[in-house]
Structure 1
């Protein structure tokens, strides 16, 4: 059972994915277990690499970033993906990068303050990366959901 997840682990993950700052005592109360068990199980899942940390969920629009754009990137040669991804990680407005199959070689998510900011990012930072053959962009008009999988089903 040491390297496997059970229903108790799934309950802990579900609770923490809804509120990563929930105290272990509160998690324990909701899960019907002791705080020591929550601590032990959480440490186990961190050691397994299941829990990779905790993050804040930010509303970028309230911080002046009014645009969310997804970019499908075509590479000149598929073996260049590591080099292109390394360059993309240097751009602070790029918040997600996926090496993907299908139509695009890489799919990314970008936050920009406005269309001028996005144009500058696109033309001066992204399009200048060696190895990119072409890009298709998709502007998000509204995010309707962002969640983790509910592991208690």
Structure 2
């Protein structure tokens, strides 16, 4: 079936996950296939929605954003999820939002320049969102790993 991914597709994904800007010729060389095959397979995976784009991996601390904070949010009511997510999405410093099971209803990742910026963001943006009952904050001391799954064999 042409919509299924095979070992070649997984190899291409693994190579591109290391460097999404790698050209097809280099991907082909590493995968042991032709550049045309890489192009065709990559287009197929984009059409299937497997590849949703390419992103940069930034070191925020080198850009002056010294704090990464995770927030565990409790909602007043489960039905308020969509409106809370919409409001969180409007906060530029919010970079990831996860609907979660377990202790929290929503788990959020944000970046802030420093503790003053974080306090301002927390008090003037996040706490004012209607539907949030309570928040627990977790400050990241260091990110030691950030990777994609290796789809290789």
Same fold (TM over 0.5): yes
Q: Which runs of 5+ in 1 are unaligned?
A: none
Matches within 5 A, 1:57-96: 57-96=57-96
Alpha-carbon distance in 1 for matches of 2:47, 2:82:
27
Name the counterpart of 1:17. 17
Matches within 5 A, 1:112-151: 112-151=112-151
Alpha-carbon distance in 1 for matches of 2:35, 2:144:
34
TM-score by length of 1: 0.99
Alpha-carbon distance in 1 for matches of 2:84, 2:25:
44
Aligned residue pairs, count = 153
Deviation of the 1:30 alpha carbon: 0.6
Name the counterpart of 1:6. 6
Q: Which runs of 5+ in 2 are unaligned?
A: none
Name the counterpart of 1:28. 28
Alpha-carbon distance in 2 for matches of 1:5, 1:26:
21
Deviation of the 1:111 alpha carbon: 0.3
TM-score by length of 2: 0.99
Alpha-carbon distance in 1 for matches of 2:79, 2:101:
13
